[in-house]
Structure 1
Amino acid sequence: MRNTTNPGASGYPVFVEPFDADTRYRRVRLRGLGCEPLEREEFEPTVRRAFPDIDFDDPEQVHWADRPGQWPAWHPGEA
């Protein structure tokens, strides 16, 4: 069983941290590369650069801590 309480030790190539409604970003951990906040539009291109052959539908490759595929609501003009 994978460790989902410590995302850095999870072993997943991509680990999307829990949803936070106060920001338009989700923190995404890329194995071997660290963690960064990404917007919905940045997610796939950033992950593809790190893992070109990744299957976004495979939960063993892309693990969501919660709310798979969801991003906080954000509207242009918001800080």
Structure 2
Amino acid sequence: MNTHGSNDPLVEVAALGSDSRYRLVRFKGHGWEPVDRQEFRAEAARLFPGVDLEDSEQVEWQDHPWEWPNWHPGEA
């Protein structure tokens, strides 16, 4: 939970879905987009150099922090 008043977190991660390889993520100033684990780290670092992905005030997870859907290459 963000404790800095009305400031939004830099990154919001939507609830875990069971039918996809992605999680929906909103980077501050951008819309929601589906990203996988590697894209999440890379895009956060690109948009917000120095972001602390472990800081709950900077990154808000709706559920299951750091969990991603089970997906294997070749699956639809």
Task: Tell me the equivalent position of 2:67.
Answer: 70
Offset from partner CA, 1:41-62 (integer Å, 9 cap, x none): 2110011111011001100001
* Paired residue type of 2:48: F
Runs of at least 4 residues off by over 4 Å? none
More relative contact order in 1 or in 2 (CA 8 Å, sep 6+)? Answer: 2
1:25 to 22, 25, 31: 22
2:43 to 43, 46, 61: 46
* Paired residue type of 1:31: K
TM-score normalized by the length of structure 2: 0.88
| C-alpha distance in structure 2 between counterparts of 1:50 and 1:30, whole Å | 8
Percent identity over the alignment? 48
Q: Report the CA distance shift for 1:24/1:10 in structure 2 as closer, same or farther (over 3 A).
A: farther
Task: Please list every run of 5 or more consecutive structure 1 residues that lacks an aligned counterpart in the other structure.
Answer: 3-8
TM-score normalized by the length of structure 1: 0.85
RMSD: 1.7
May I ask how many residue pairs the two structures share in their alignment?
73
